[in-house]
Every structure is written in structure tokens, then in C-alpha cells.
A = this chain, B = another copy of it.
Amino acid sequence: MASTFGKLFSVTTWGESHGPAVGAVLDGCPAGLPLCEEDIQKFLDRRRPGQGKTTTARDEKDKVRILSGVFEGKTTGTPISFVVFNEDQHSNDYADIAKWYRPGHADLCYDQKYGFRDYRGGGRSSARETIGRVAAGAVAQLLLKQLAGTEFIAWVDSIGEIECPAVEADKISREAIEASPVRCPDTAASAQMEAAVLAAKSAGDSIGGTVRLVVKNVPATLGEPVFDRLDALLAQAMLSIPACKGFEVGSGFAGTRMHGSKHNDEIFFDGKAYHTRTNNAGGIVGGISNGENILCRMAFKPTATISQRQKTASRDGENGELAAKGRHDPCVAVRAPVIVESMAALVLADLYLQQLRNKIIL
């Protein structure tokens, strides 16, 4: 069940970049959640390419249909099936890659693993697979919004060497992020990042970046010790996104340079609830949410597909060169935020439902 994620609120994605359609089945969503196709479409529209100079030129409409699980505008508790038909395939652009393994791509690994693959594109490792995740993640976001007022906000924190200055969680808005062509809420950094992406693009190259996520209004108690700790599942969720190579929560790698006396977050009771003065934990202690904001950062490598010529080998064992045609994002990080939010929401929705079983006796 490698294409299924989650235990109670579980999504199964299917589809390849060059097949007739991609989609997902979401099982376990509680009944009664208001839901229509437009609710999902808003999230998909943030994911799709063709949005500007910094992303790929493919203009895919990515219109979602809901085929089951919703009746009279509300979820019924039964599986919700999403489908998006692939409209703009241009498979002839990809002729060369049937022969040559693209460096940095999974072509070789898929051939070794399965002995066979759809050589017209990335197939299952394509970013199009994430459409199903975003559709299901949209439901997760709506569910948690309704149940707990939870909000997910992700943005581009760096591209290449250019970093976004520190942002206060309370001041950041999804609107400011989406207004930036590189999804960075800091205007100055955004301009520099855009230049860096365009420079890479015009050089037939690509560039890496990082994405930050903050989750606000998280109920305490989410996360199941020991293997399904909240941070462990977030890490799996993030690393399962194509091109993601790193994850950290709270102080992360920087925190390893600190002493415990400084790193431990002081706990206090404000008369109503427990809080911490600092948030080095990133909202998760012992694998369980403590009610503070969840803070994560993810690393995305530079897009593997570039139009510069590269040395590589062929399916027949020939060593040679390949120059990719086709259209690609010069910086995958730019399209990642909505995928990051979606995966985080899938994790939290699942753990929210799992937590209902605790404290039913006390």
C-alpha cells in the first residue's frame, strides 16, 4: 500500500504524467463536512504550472471532478474519489528520454526496480502525482479548519543563496505569499529570488530552494508514540514529495549547536492553558503537539530536468549525452508550498482522528 498514506484519514493516489488521468481516493473523512469541487479547485490552482515566468510553460487546466463520497454538498463518510484528466500531454517532446536516463531523475531506478516503465516522462515520479495529494490535502485543511481553526501556511524561504528574512508567524498571510511570483512574502527577497530563477532558466539550468511551513491553532495531543510521532510522520510526508531532500522541525540542525539550558522551552501556565516562552521545539515535544505553532523547514534540490547538455548512460549501456526538451520548472520549490501544506494537513487530520480514542474513559 505504498500509494496509500494515513491510517484513519487515508489517501491513495494514482496516475502518471502521461497517462489519461491522475487522481486520488480519500477514505475516512468524517461525514457532514461541506465540500464541493470548487473548494478543491482553489488549492489545485495554486499547484498547477503555467502561472508565470518562474514556472513551466505547460498550461494545464487541472480541472478536478469529485466522483463519489459527497451528497447534497456534504461528505457522506464514504470514500471521496478525485479525478483530473491530463489534457496537455505533448508526449512527443519526450522522445529522447526513452533511450537516455536523465541525470537526477528516477528513470534508471524505475527501470531497475520494475524492469519496465512508461518512458514518456517521469511517470509516477512526476510532480503530477501530487495533484491527488493536493486534492485530498484540501479536504484535510477544510476539516481541520472547521474542527479546530487550524491554518497551514507555507512559503519559499530561500532560493539558491538568497534567503527570506525571518517572518513572524502571526504576520504572514497566504495572500502575501501568493502575490509573489516565487511565493516569498518578503518583497525584496522575492525580487532577488525571481531574478535568480530567471537567470537559471535562461542559462538552461535550475536552482534549489527551501520552504518553510507554519501551522497555527494546532490542538495539543496530536501524535502517536513511538513510530507515528507527529514529527516523524511530517518528515515522511515531506520527504515523500518529489525533490525534497531534507526536513527539520523547530530548532532543527541549528539547535544542535545549542546547550539544553538555552534550548529547553520554558513552560508556563497563563491561567487557562500551558504555553512555552520560546518555541525551539517547533510545537512538538516527544512526538506530540503541545499547542504552539508547528514550525518546519524543507529542502528542495534543483529541478533535475535542465536543457543544458549532460553526460549520462542509455538503457543499452551506452555512455553519451542528453539535452532535455520539454518544459520544466526551473525551481521546484516555487510550486511546493501548497503541496507542503497538503501533506502536513493529511498528517494532522489523521492524527486528529486517532486521538479521539484517548481519554474516552477518564
Contacts and interface: CB of A to CB of B under 8 A. Distances in A.
Contact of A267 (B101, B204, B285): B101
Interface in A293-309: 299-306, 308
A109 B205 contact: no
Contact of A28 (B2, B204, B205, B206): B2
Contacts of A281: 104
Interface string A100-116: 01011110111011111
A49 interface: no
A300 B14 CA distance: 34
A33 interface: yes
Contact of A12 (B7, B12, B78, B223): B12
Interface stretch (A56-64, A168-176, A187-195, A246-254): A246-254
Contacts of A147: 360-361
Interface residues of A, number: 159
Contacts of A114: 31-32, 76-77, 358-359
A23 interface: yes
B306 A260 contact: yes
A237 B240 CA distance: 13
B260 A303 contact: yes
Given A76-B114, A255-B299, A256-B210, A308 B261 contact: yes
A259 interface: yes
A27 B8 contact: no
29 contacts: A1-B6, A2-B354, A3-B226, A7-B8, A12-B12, A13-B79, A14-B25, A14-B69, A14-B79, A14-B80, A15-B67, A21-B68, A30-B357, A30-B360, A101-B274, A109-B288, A113-B358, A147-B361, A206-B261, A207-B259, A208-B257, A228-B240, A240-B287, A246-B256, A256-B300, A267-B313, A268-B319, A269-B319, A356-B356
